[in-house]
Structure 1
């Protein structure tokens, strides 16, 4: 197996660094899948063992790298899957200020490593200096690759564009102090409602006039927990109860330069949050619904 990739432009290096830093805040461990056309960062639920990924980030290599060479295990298994500590990788990027180039390659030291060679200008002369980081990795055997394939999820009942992620994060952080679960509701009329039930009160925050990318209604809302939102037809409201902590974790991605962020809901079963940038980086978070 061989892997070597080079970035020579400061803009994609900074963007890549921001993505890695964000991944490290979401999970301590991740799997880096290296393919011909993409790099993937994959995170599974730390509490459930082998399970479908809960976080899926794909980065087009042609946008970020000026050189990209990959030789897989064999002709049948052409990708490389590496388990690594996302915090170690993120800390390696701390030195990426005024960087001239970044080289990533797979090396064999005392153990397999993802080696970063960072070229930065010298502060005392016109020469450059090189910083090298060796990040230990575990090569994932091909028989375990299916554990890290992109999840197959049902078609959503609604997809709605989210408001400012920073504003959403502030709202969810406040709600988390009162309840551990949050009901996410979205309507065909472009409303997003976040609701919690505490011991003494029910608290709701509503965002209006949002773009609805997809709606596949009507939806059966014949349960006592559902109430009509103002003049909204309840058959046009899709909802799902989720863990507030998991929702808050995703909202840490607000540091990534965003083009659009969509919230897709499978009624009472699943919330999928998808961020996409102008550089076609896509980050998806899958949050299973809580059903009583």
Structure 2
């Protein structure tokens, strides 16, 4: 197996650093899948053994790297799967935002490593500074590759654009201080409501005028739910209760320059959050619904 790539453009280097930093906040460990066309960062639920990924990130290599070479396991299995400590990778890429170039390759030191060679201007002279980071990785055997396939999800009942992520993150972080779970309610009329409930109070924040990309209603609700929302047509509203911390962690992606973020809801079962950039980077986060 061989892997080597070079990055020389400031914009892609800055975005690559931000992407890895965001992933490191979601999970200490991730899987880096290397293919001829794309790099994938994959995060699985750490507590439940082999499960479908909870985060799926696609980076098209042609738009980020000036040089890109890889040779897979064999002619039939052409990909490379590596387990990496995402926190270590993120720390090593901090200086990338002011770097002139990055070379990244798979090497064999005392163990398999992702070696980063970063060239940066010196702060004290006109010479360039060269820094090398060796990040240990674990090569994932072929028998485990199926654990890291793209999740197969049911068709969402509604897909609605999200308001600005910074604004949304501020709201969620305030709610997290009061409750560990948040109810996400999306309507076919373009409203997104975030609601928490405690023993002392019920708090709701509503965003209006959002674009609804798809709606597969009508939606069935129990009689008790219909009674509490008597002024709204509940058949056009999807809801899902999720972990507030997981939702907030995805919103830390606000540091990545993006042009589109969408929230898709499978009624009471699943929330899919998707961020896309102008460079066709796609980050999807899958948050399972909490059912009582």
What interval of TM-score do these two structures reach, taking the shorter chain for normalisation? over 0.9
Structure 2 CA distance for partners of 1:227 and 1:11, relative to 1, 3 Å? farther
- Give the aligned partner of residue 3 of structure 1: 3
SS in 2 for 1:224: helix
Which whole-Å deviations, capped at 9, do the CAs of 1:85-136 have from their partners, x for residues lacking one? 0010011112224311100000000000000011122344443231100000
Find the aligned partners of 2:105 and 2:229 in 1 and give their Cα distance.
54
Structure 2 CA distance for partners of 1:241 and 1:223, relative to 1, 3 Å? farther
Which whole-Å deviations, capped at 9, do the CAs of 1:50-97 have from their partners, x for residues lacking one? 111001111000010010001001011100000010010011112224
- Give the aligned partner of residue 52 of structure 1: 52
Find the aligned partners of 2:182 and 2:236 in 1 and give their Cα distance.
20
For the 8 Å contact 1:60–1:281, the answer to whether it is kept is yes
1:243 counterpart = 2:243: yes
Which whole-Å deviations, capped at 9, do the CAs of 1:192-245 have from their partners, x for residues lacking one? 011111112221111000000001111102341345657531110011111111
For the 8 Å contact 1:102–1:119, the answer to whether it is kept is yes
- Give the aligned partner of residue 148 of structure 1: 148
Shift of 1:37: 0.7
Which whole-Å deviations, capped at 9, do the CAs of 1:24-59 have from their partners, x for residues lacking one? 111100000001111011001111121110011110
1:78 counterpart = 2:72: no
Alignment of 1:1-292 (within 5 A): 1-227=1-227, 231-292=231-292
SS in 1 for 2:62: helix
For the 8 Å contact 1:227–1:234, the answer to whether it is kept is no
SS in 2 for 1:250: helix
SS in 2 for 1:152: coil
Find the aligned partners of 2:174 and 2:47 in 1 and give their Cα distance.
25
For the 8 Å contact 1:9–1:101, the answer to whether it is kept is yes
For the 8 Å contact 2:13–2:97, the answer to whether it is kept is no
For the 8 Å contact 1:228–1:234, the answer to whether it is kept is no
Between stretches 91-100 and 68-77, larger displacement belongs to 91-100
Shift of 1:249: 1.1
Find the aligned partners of 2:226 and 2:289 in 1 and give their Cα distance.
15
Structure 2 CA distance for partners of 1:49 and 1:145, relative to 1, 3 Å? same
Find the aligned partners of 1:53 and 1:262 in 2 and give their Cα distance.
18
Between stretches 227-236 and 142-151, larger displacement belongs to 227-236
Find the aligned partners of 1:187 and 1:290 in 2 and give their Cα distance.
20
CA RMSD of aligned residues (A): 1.3
Matched residues, number: 292
Q: TM-score under structure 1 normalisation?
A: 0.97
Find the aligned partners of 2:227 and 2:34 in 1 and give their Cα distance.
47
Unaligned runs of 5+ in 2: none
Find the aligned partners of 2:109 and 2:201 in 1 and give their Cα distance.
58
Find the aligned partners of 1:21 and 1:179 in 2 and give their Cα distance.
26
SS in 2 for 1:196: strand
Find the aligned partners of 1:97 and 1:181 in 2 and give their Cα distance.
35
SS in 2 for 1:96: helix
For the 8 Å contact 1:105–1:115, the answer to whether it is kept is yes
Find the aligned partners of 1:230 and 1:14 in 2 and give their Cα distance.
49
Find the aligned partners of 1:98 and 1:241 in 2 and give their Cα distance.
41
Unaligned runs of 5+ in 1: none
Find the aligned partners of 1:232 and 1:258 in 2 and give their Cα distance.
33
